[in-house]
């Protein structure tokens, strides 16, 4: 089947309408805001000016934050890989006692992260935290602010971002051919040599990818430095936020955002170049499934078990304490001493029944639901057209739609603020800055690349013969999409919607720039409570919010991943071939073979 040309796209009114709307959206919310940041930085009065650069280099505070961001990005790339590779190996590669329990502990970052995770660590290890209060009773002379600054930020972000290793590196490890490991053993290679020379080189492409993600996460970090960094350790994004709030310093904020964007693009280019420099594959013709390896050295085996369970405690302690303290009364939270008599449901009753407690939760749910539905609903049409019409026009559109993946969220948010703080013809002369709409636009925008990639993969898995048959019978493009394609990709679309909804519930990095002062989402309220805005009541509310978010996230992860995994396991089980049917019966008409049809692409991998 030949690929439709650009000329054939113009003949369909459906394609034209989608193309016009898509062109407007890309111009208004992806291209112009980021271009406007460059204009505001280097051409503030219509002519080139280096004033912003002069102000940046003369600001000791800004230059220090710049250095801190790169320090954190480099350090995080190392620590996340060390911890991430270790937890993947002890759960997937080595034969470790209780590996399933360890996996559940390490996977706790799947159900909470971002501002919620940073706030949880502060409530536990901060100067007034639960663990710190207990340690102060044993060591009265210790510094209560021991868990702050660069060390605290690095620790929290290290354990928060190993989720990528649990998802991608673990999946890549399962694809390693066991025959190569057996061959190395037969040649006398030790466990360490096999791991270093055989297993890890095959994981290099995935490790390159997660290293890029770790570096970019550290470079654009906001919530952890704000909550735990203190005055001694601030990074670029908090500085951008500070300068954005002052109209006289917005050019400085814009320049910092541009530097952040350039560093992101350069990092992607360098890592892509390094990844292309090697070849990583197994050479056996018939691969065999990976089997867990026994650590033969007893000392090494004991050390690995010890470290594995210590990390398990670090991962699970915040979750356990947050759940327990969500039921504690104010006195118990203040003193850190929990008893059965101090456990109560009053905190949940206050959050779920009182308007002041329930309002931020409802605001976040509404924002997240609207953004998830709009992103998936709009990109269903776009993904289909990009997957069907493969030409230079669709290629340009696809690259432009990936802008939110290339540029940091701070730059995107600042671009929206600068572009729409005055009447703009691109949005009908409306002013969006300071309204509730601009945050919704930002939420939709940042979810476009992920949603587009997943939906394109879903459409690519659909059998094209059904669409061809409908076209031969005279069905129109919209009818084919509505009656044939949409039902097939709907499970995948529902899963993507759930994941998008889940990821935006506790968003802080985007909301802090664009949220309306009177319509504060949950992330901002949690941050305010960590600063003591509402006292003990605010702390108790934050515990409850965190538990509710973990429940919602856990349920979403189960619906998206758990049920699909179970379905795959059932499909892989051998089926008993029935006895030969009686001639003339309904069973005689069937082939008797197990169906080999693929399930719809409902799994977001």
Q: What is the pLDDT of residues 111-134, one digit of tens each?
A: 887 888 888 888 888 888 888 888
Distance between CA atoms of residues 102 and 314, nearest Å: 11
Among all chains, which residue has been given the structure tokens 């931020």?
360
Mean pLDDT of 342-364: 88
Among residues 268, 267, 266, 250, which one has the least CA distance to residue 37? 250
How open is the CA angle 365-371-377, to the nearest 5 degrees? Answer: 125
For residue 489, give the H/E element and its range: helix 486-504
pLDDT tens digit string along 506-545? Answer: 888 889 999 998 899 998 998 888 877 778 888 888 889 9
Residue 75 has pLDDT above 90, yes or no: yes
What integer pLDDT is reported at residue 271 of this predicted model? 66
Angle (CA) 444 361 103, round 5°: 80
Question: CA-to-CA distance for 50 and 54, rounded, in angstroms?
Answer: 6
Q: What is the mean pLDDT of the chain?
A: 81
Lowest-confidence range among 28-37, 214-223, 326-335? Answer: 326-335
What stretch of H or E contains 357? Answer: helix 355-388
Q: Which element (helix H / strand E) includes 58?
A: helix 51-58
How many helices (H) and strands (E) would you count in the chain? 34, 0
Q: 305: pLDDT confidence band, cut at 50, 70 and 90? A: very high
For residues 438 and 446, what is the distance between their CA atoms, to the nearest angstrom?
12
Q: Which of 43-57, 249-263, 279-293, 509-523 has the lowest mean pLDDT?
A: 279-293
Long-range own/partner contacts, residues 355-364 (CB < 8 A, 24 or more apart): 357/541, 357/544, 360/520, 360/521, 360/522, 360/524, 360/525, 360/545, 361/522, 361/545, 361/548, 363/519, 363/520, 363/521, 363/522, 364/504, 364/505, 364/506, 364/507, 364/521, 364/522, 364/523
- What does the pLDDT average to over 212-216? 86
pLDDT at 579 over 50: no
Structure tokens at 499: 């994941």
Q: How confident is the model at residue 80 (pLDDT cuts 50, 70, 90)?
A: very high
């Amino acid at each position: 089947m030949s690929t439709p040309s650009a000329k054939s796209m113009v003949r369909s009114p459906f394609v034209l309408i989608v193309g016009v709307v898509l062109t407007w959206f890309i111009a208004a919310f992806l291209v112009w805001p980021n271009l406007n940041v460059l204009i505001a930085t280097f051409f503030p009065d219509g002519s080139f000016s280096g004033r912003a650069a002069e102000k940046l280099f003369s600001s000791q505070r800004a230059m220090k934050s710049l250095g801190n961001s790169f320090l954190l990005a480099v350090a995080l790339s190392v620590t996340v890989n060390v911890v991430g590779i270790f937890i993947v190996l002890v759960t997937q590669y080595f034969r470790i006692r209780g590996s399933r329990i360890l996996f559940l502990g390490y996977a706790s970052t799947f159900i909470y992260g971002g501002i919620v995770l940073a706030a949880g660590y502060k409530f536990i290890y901060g100067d007034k935290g639960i663990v710190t209060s207990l340690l102060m009773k044993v060591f009265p002379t210790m510094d209560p602010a021991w868990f702050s600054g660069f060390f605290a930020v690095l620790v929290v972000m290290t354990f928060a971002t190993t989720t990528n290793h649990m998802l991608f590196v673990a999946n890549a490890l399962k694809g390693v051919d066991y025959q190569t490991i057996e061959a190395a053993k037969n040649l006398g290679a030790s466990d360490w040599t096999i791991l270093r020379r055989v297993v890890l080189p095959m994981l290099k492409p995935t490790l390159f990818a997660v290293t890029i993600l770790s570096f970019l996460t550290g470079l654009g970090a906001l919530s952890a430095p704000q909550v735990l960094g203190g005055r001694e350790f601030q990074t670029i994004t908090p500085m951008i936020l500070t300068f954005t709030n002052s109209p006289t310093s917005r050019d400085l904020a814009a320049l910092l955002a541009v530097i952040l964007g350039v560093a992101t693009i350069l990092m992607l280019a360098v890592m892509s170049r390094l990844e292309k420099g090697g070849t990583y594959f197994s050479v056996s013709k018939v691969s065999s499934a990976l089997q867990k390896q026994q650590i033969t050295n007893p000392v090494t085996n004991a050390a690995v078990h010890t470290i594995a369970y210590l990390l398990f405690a670090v991962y699970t302690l915040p979750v356990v304490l947050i759940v327990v303290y969500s039921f504690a009364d104010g006195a118990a939270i203040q003193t850190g001493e929990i008893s059965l008599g101090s456990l109560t449901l009053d905190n949940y009753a206050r959050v779920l029944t009182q308007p002041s407690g329930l309002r931020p939760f409802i605001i976040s749910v509404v924002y997240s639901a609207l953004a998830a539905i709009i992103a998936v609903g709009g990109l269903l049409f776009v993904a289909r057209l990009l997957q069907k019409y493969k030409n230079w026009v669709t290629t340009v559109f696809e690259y432009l739609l990936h802008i939110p993946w290339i540029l940091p969220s701070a730059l995107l948010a600042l671009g929206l603020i600068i572009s729409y703080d005055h009447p703009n013809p691109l949005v009908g002369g409306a002013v969006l800055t300071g309204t509730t709409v601009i945050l919704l636009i930002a939420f939709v925008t940042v979810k476009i690349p992920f949603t587009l990639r997943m939906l394109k993969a879903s459409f690519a898995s659909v059998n094209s013969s059904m669409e061809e048959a409908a076209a031969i019978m005279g069905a129109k493009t919209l009818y084919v999409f509505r009656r044939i394609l949409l039902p097939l990709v709907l499970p995948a679309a529902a899963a993507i919607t759930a994941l998008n909804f889940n990821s935006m519930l506790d968003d802080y990095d985007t909301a802090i720039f664009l949220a309306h002062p009177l319509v504060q989402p949950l992330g901002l309220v949690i941050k305010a409570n960590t600063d003591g805005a509402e006292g003990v009541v605010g702390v108790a509310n934050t515990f409850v919010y965190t538990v509710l978010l973990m429940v919602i996230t856990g349920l979403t992860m189960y619906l998206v991943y758990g049920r699909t995994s179970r379905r795959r396991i059932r499909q892989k089980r051998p089926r008993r071939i029935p006895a030969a049917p009686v001639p003339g019966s309904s069973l005689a008409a069937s082939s008797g073979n197990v169906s080999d049809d693929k399930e719809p692409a409902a799994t977001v991998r």
